[in-house]
Amino acid sequence: MAAKGKMRKPKILDLFCCQGGAGLGYSLAGFDVVGVDIVPQPKYPFEFHCADALSFDLSEFDAIHASPPCQAHTRARKLQGNTHVDLIGVTRDKLVASGKPFVIENVPGAPLQNPIELCGLMFGLNFYRHRLFELNFKCKIPVHPLHTKPLAKMGRPPKDDEILQFVGHFSGVSRGRKELNTPWMSQYGMAQCVPPAYTEYIGKQLRAHIVCAESAPENTSEARFTAANKCMACTS
């Protein structure tokens, strides 16, 4: 139990974690983070389990984040045709069945339900990287500034006034690590990662929801989510 006057540190599971961009954001928001990926991730900066995300036990966690593979939904793959399996539906079923607050992240065009969209410009960062987030709790959305800066050209170092693109074998890796706040990541990791600023923003609101849910007088899932979604602290 947390000491009197101190907020308990909740535990979040980071499914399909890759090199830990999403996990860093949740850590900065005050969570203990545990990552799971079917591929070994030696660069992951938190506790890691090499396992199948769809069969991993969710019972000990306060919340779940999942980033199912996005290849089935990227614009390039749709243009070229692809045979990648869509894991969003089965992931959602698993998270809903857990009865826990959850986040599912993917690229624009993915079949998420009532998602919010985040962009680097919302957080004063020098990249767009639009990502969708399906949540089963309330979350405010930042103002989305207009896109006025030019995109960096692929194949050459980005200019100071250009927006970074983290796609494939992009140039400007050292600058990208600084912009993303992921100094440990490889070029491939950055091309795949969820920017930590996005999950830090969501994570702070998620943590407030968990605190509100734990204050519900009835210890049922329905009572906890009702209390959390009515709590003014969660949406202020």
Domain harbouring 212, CATH code: 3.40.50
User: Which tokens in the block code for residue 46?
Assistant: 């938190």
Stated as kind and residue range, the H or E segment containing 50 is strand 47-50
Residue 3 lies in a domain: no
Sign of the torsion formed by the C-alpha atoms of 9, 44, 14 and 40: negative
CB atoms within 10 A of CB 45: 17
Query: According to the model, what pLDDT value does residue 39 have?
Result: 96
Residue 52 lies in a domain: yes
pTM (2 d.p.)? 0.87
Residue 181 lies in a domain: yes
Higher pLDDT, 167 or 75: 167
Name, of 71-85, 109-123, 154-168, 219-233, the range with top average pLDDT.
109-123
Residue 4 lies in a domain: no
Domain housing 121: 11-235
Residue 175 lies in a domain: yes
Give the total number of structural domains in the chain.
1
Residue 118 lies in a domain: yes
- CA dihedral defined by 121, 173, 187, 71, rounded to 10 degrees? 30
C-alpha–C-alpha distance, residues 218 and 89, integer Å? 31
Indicate the angle between helix axes 196-214 and 221-230, nearest 10 degrees.
110
Sequence-ordered alpha helix ranges (H) in 81-122: 88-98
